[in-house]
Amino acid sequence: MERMRLAIIGVGLIGGSLGLCLKDKLGDKIFITGLCRSEGSMRRAMELGAVDVATSDLQTVVGDADIIFLSPPVLQIVPMVKKILPHLKRGAILTDAGSTKQFIWQELSKILPPEIFYVAGHPMTGREKSGVEAATKDLFRNKAYVIVKDGVAPPEVREKLMSVLRLTDANFLEIDLAVHDRCASIISHVPHLTAAALVTLLNDAGDDLESCLKLIGGGFKDTTRIASSNADMWADICMTNGDAIATHLRDLQAILGNVITAIERRDRQAVHDYFARSKARRDKILETVTFDPN
């Protein structure tokens, strides 16, 4: 078997975890090159074993790559593809970890030549910490991993990519672009914005801030854990999935408005029903979905 060559653009939490997983599974059967934001990150990526070689030279990173895994913040993906396109060999496969899909698809479809293939993906996993230091070889295991339906990349191209990605032990599913972005908004993007809003609420507590900080327990920490996520990544997500996020934030605003009204009216039954319905739904989810404790 000819040695697979993989390039990872953005060897952080996601890219680094992929590298660690594939080196663990394939060893010398795969050669991984990487590009990081800084020289320090590149050195650390090599020390941890996430890549074989990390460098800022794009030709070295992607020139011989069979598969290029793009994992920078969403708004940096298209500009990066424009930079690496002149260096890609015929038949190279691009895939990504972008949290929004329609924006990237629309932009890349304008610039990719027919001999370069793109298969849109999104591993639905992560941690509140970022950088290759937070990477782990098991990050993808049993987590949802979206491969977007497109009908453009030939079946043999998709299978070549999937033969590598399946080694992550993720749970793969195919959905279309619009469904992905709407669902990601509800189950990922809006929760992150809400967690950040709760921290902002605390930060705006004024004279009560010091007392509030002394009272913080597990409930607040658990609810706001994801507010520690990378700000660049989440700003880009909001810019590239804005319609869905704004719609769902307004829906959330309406839900909270109804709760506010019920509380102000001292309508205990309405408030009770609000909590009871959400508890029933979450309990049902817990029966079928395994949550990541990280």
Q: How far apart are CA 69 and CA 63, in angstroms?
A: 13
Task: Find, among 89, 114, 94, the residue nearest to 104 by Cα.
Answer: 94
Q: How far apart are CA 109 and CA 184, in angstroms?
A: 22
Query: Domain of 59?
Result: 4-175
Q: How far apart are CA 86 and CA 280, in angstroms?
A: 54
CATH number at residue 265: 1.10.3660.10
CATH number at residue 166: 3.40.50.720
Do residues 127 and 24 share a domain? yes
Among 175, 201, 221, residue at a domain's last position:
175
Q: Could you tell me if 56 and 35 are in contact, meaning their C-beta atoms sit under 8 angstroms apart?
A: yes
Is residue 218 domain-resident? yes
Q: In degrees rounded to 5, what are phi and psi of residue 244?
A: -65, -45
DSSP 88-121: PPTT-EEEE--S--HHHHHHHTTT--TTSEEE-E
Is residue 293 domain-resident? no
Q: How far apart are CA 234 and CA 240, in angstroms?
A: 10
Among 175, 191, 206, residue at a domain's last position:
175
* Per-residue pLDDT, 36: 85
* Per-residue pLDDT, 290: 57
Do residues 112 and 252 share a domain? no
Do residues 188 and 126 share a domain? no
Do residues 185 and 106 share a domain? no
CA 80 to chain centre: 17
* Per-residue pLDDT, 191: 96
Taking the chain (294 residues) in runs of 10, the rounded mean pLDDT of each run is 89 94 95 90 91 94 97 94 97 95 94 95 84 92 92 90 96 93 95 96 95 93 91 92 97 98 98 97 82 47
CA 209 to chain centre: 32
Q: How far apart are CA 4 and CA 6, in angstroms?
A: 6
SS3 245: helix
Among 135, 150, 175, residue at a domain's last position:
175
* Per-residue pLDDT, 294: 43
The structure's pTM equals 0.86
Do residues 155 and 81 share a domain? yes
Domain total in the chain = 2
Do residues 187 and 141 share a domain? no
C-alpha distances out from residue 280 to 23, 31, 122, 190, 256, Å: 42, 48, 29, 21, 18
- Which tokens in the block code for residue 121? 């993906």
Q: Could you tell me if 49 and 23 are in contact, meaning their C-beta atoms sit under 8 angstroms apart?
A: yes
Helix (H) or strand (E) holding 293: none
Do residues 105 and 194 share a domain? no
Task: Find, among 116, 118, 184, 176, the residue nearest to 148 by Cα.
Answer: 176
Going by the DSSP 8-state scheme, the letter that residue 43 receives in this structure is: H
Q: Which residues pair with 68 in a beta bridge?
A: 7, 94
Is residue 138 domain-resident? yes
